[in-house]
Structures are given as C-alpha cells and as structure tokens.
Amino acid sequence: MLEFTVNGESVRVEVDPGTPLLWVLRDTLKLNGTKYACGRSLCGACTVHVDGSPVRACVMPIESAANRAVTTIEGLGAEKPHPLQTAWIEANVPQCGYCQSGQIMSAAALLASNPNPSDADIDVAMAGNLCRCGTYDRIRKAIKTAGARIRDDRAAVRDDNRSTVT
C-alpha cells in the first residue's frame, strides 16, 4: 500500500512495484488528462508536478511518489482556471491537443519560478515537450500572455497590501 497526494487529495494505491506513476494516474485513478506518447521520457506528454517540480510520469516509479504531492492537469485549474489555460484558449493553441496537458504543466512550472521568461528561457523549459502538430509559436505567445497576467496580479496584490498597511 502506497500513499501520496493527488491534486490535494490523499490516495492509497496497491500496485506492482515499479509501476510508473503515469499508469497509476491513468489506469488506477482514472485521471486520463495525463498522456502516454513515448514511455521513455522523450516527449513530455506525461508531465505532472511532483512537489511542484515538473516530472515525466512515464518513467517515475510509483515508489518515488510515495508521500509526495502530485498535481496533474486536472488539478492545475481546479479552483479557478490557471492563467495559462485561459491564455491557451484565447490563442487557440491546441491542434490535436494530445501533447497539451504536458505543455501546460511544463509551462506552469516555468512560470511558477519565472513569470517573465525570455524566449531563451521558454526554449530551455519547453524543449522536452514535443508537439507533433507544431503549435509552438502559439505556445510561446500564450506563455508570455499568462506570465504578464501573473505579474499584473502580483503587482495588484502588492498594491493592495500596501494600501491595507497604510
């Protein structure tokens, strides 16, 4: 029996040792938003966050997730849409859409640490996420839009705090 948190809820699963997190999410927990496309950490379609860091779920043995917090695409915007999800819709980013959960999870990890990424930062953070349909320029555009909104929101919160203090 293994315990970990998925999208804020704690879960216990009994699966074969060595089962990749991806298959526990998909086949055991029925969280199908996280995709399989290569199974070898080559494409990023299975990207989730483990304790906030982007991880390729297809190669992470479930033991490594024990007692840690996993966030999947289903949990990313559960309370309110993540700015990336809104920006993705506005820019009509997805084509087939199959890679997009992974793209958004990688982008979310990037913006969490750097809400003002340069093109080079985006290249580094996103180079492991393949999009066979070629939606890259819209991905880049949407990341920048979302980053700008996150920065604006933070600035607004700071202003708010300041006015509360004074």
Partner 1 sequence: MTQSRREFLQSSAAIALTVAIARPTLAADESPATPGNAYLRVGADNRVTAVLPTSEMGQGTHTGQAMILGEELGIDPSQIHIEMPLRPAEPYRLFFGQMRSVGSYGIRAWYEPLKKAAAQVRAVLLEAAGERWRVPVSELDATDGQVVHALSGRRVPFGELVEAAAALPLPEDPPMRPAPDTNDVDHTTRRVDVPAKVDGSAVFGTDVDVPGCLHGAVRMSPVYGAEVLSLDADSIEGFPGIEAIVPVPNGVVVVADSWWRAKRAADALSIEFTDTDDATLSSEALSAAMREGLEGDLPPVVRRGDVDAQFQSAVKTVDVIYEVPFLTHICMEPLVCTAHTRENHLELWMPTQGHDIVRMTVERVLGFTNEQMTLHTTYLGGGFGRKTHGEIAEQAILASRAVGAPVKVMWSREDDIQQGYYRPAMMARLRGALDANNRITAMHAQLSGPQMGRTFEHVTVRDNNDFFSVASLIDQPYAEHFAMDHRHLDVPMPLSPWRAVSSSQNGFFMEGFIDEMAAAAGMDPVAFRRAHFEAHPRHLAVLDRVAEMSQWDAPAPDGRHRGVAVVQSYGSAVAQAVTLRMERERPVVEHVAVAIDCGRAIYPDAVEAQMKGSVIEGLAAALRHEVPIADGRAQRSNFHDYSPLRIDEIPDIEVSIVDTGAPLGGVGEPGIPPLAPALTNAIFSATGKRVRVLPVSARRT
Which residues sit at the interface with partner 1, rule CB under 8 A? Answer: 15-16, 19-20, 23, 26-28, 30-40, 42-43, 45, 72-74, 76-77, 81, 84-85, 88-101, 104, 122-123, 126-127, 129-140
**Residue 88 burial (10 A CB sphere; 0-12, 13-18, 19+):** buried
Kind plus residue range of the DSSP H or E element containing 163: helix 136-165
State the binding partner of 109 from ligand FES, partner 1, none, CB within 5 to 8 A by kind.
none
State the binding partner of 56 from partner 1, ligand FES, none, CB within 5 to 8 A by kind.
ligand FES
Task: Specify the residue, 55 or 111, whose C-beta has the smaller distance to ligand FES.
Answer: 55
SS3 state at 61: strand
Task: Specify the residue, 6 or 25, whose C-beta has the smaller distance to ligand FES.
Answer: 25
Cβ atoms within 10 Å, residue 47: 27
Q: How far is the CB of 8 from partner 1 (least distance, A)?
A: 15
Task: Specify the residue, 4 or 73, whose C-beta has the smaller distance to partner 1.
Answer: 73
Question: In this structure, what token pair is assigned to residue 122?
Answer: 């985006």
Task: Give how far Cα 71 sits from Cα of 9, 33, 34, Å.
Answer: 10, 11, 10
Interaction site with ligand FES (CB under 6 A): 36-39, 41-46, 56, 58, 94-100, 131-133, 135
Q: How far apart are CA 102 and CA 63, in angstroms?
A: 22
Task: Specify the residue, 27 or 159, whose C-beta has the smaller distance to ligand FES.
Answer: 27
